[in-house]
């Protein structure tokens, strides 16, 4: 059983991973990311961390914070970890560009709600 007291820490882990993703991808294009193996794999790793931290959130927390598609985040993590040979770096890039900014704002809002940030 997952401990609800750990939810704020998991949310903090998501924010820390997002900060790294932003650091690694700021000011570069998709082509530049794919050409830089170290930066690419560091980005993928931090997307995995986002997924793992989301997976570890309690079911109650996720059920009460439905503005985030937690299942989609978890599914992405499972693909990156278990189906690593099928990774589409274009999809990873789209997640970084389109989904990460929204997730960051929502996680900050959730932490504000529980008085953690």
Residue in the structure block whose two tokens are 């529980």: 114
Catalytic residue among 65, 82, 90, 109: 82
Structure-token pair, residue 5:
């007291």
Catalytic residue among 77, 78, 90, 109: 77
Indicate if 77 belongs to the active site.
yes
| Residue 50 vs residues 3, 31, 47, 61: alpha-carbon distances, Å | 18, 23, 5, 16
Check residue 114 and report its DSSP letter: T
* Signed CA dihedral, 78, 83, 89, 91: sign only: negative
Catalytic residues: 77, 82
């Amino acid at each position: 059983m997952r401990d609800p007291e750990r939810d704020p820490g998991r949310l903090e882990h998501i924010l820390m991973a997002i900060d790294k993703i932003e650091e690694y991808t700021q000011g570069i294009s998709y082509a530049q990311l794919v050409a830089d193996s170290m930066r690419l794999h560091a980005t993928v790793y931090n997307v995995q961390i986002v997924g793992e931290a989301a997976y570890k959130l309690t079911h109650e927390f996720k059920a009460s914070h439905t503005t985030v598609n937690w299942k989609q985040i978890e599914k992405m993590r499972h693909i990156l970890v278990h189906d690593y040979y099928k990774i589409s770096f274009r999809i990873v890039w789209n997640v970084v560009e389109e989904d990460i900014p929204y997730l960051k704002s929502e996680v900050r809002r959730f932490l504000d709600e529980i008085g953690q940030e």
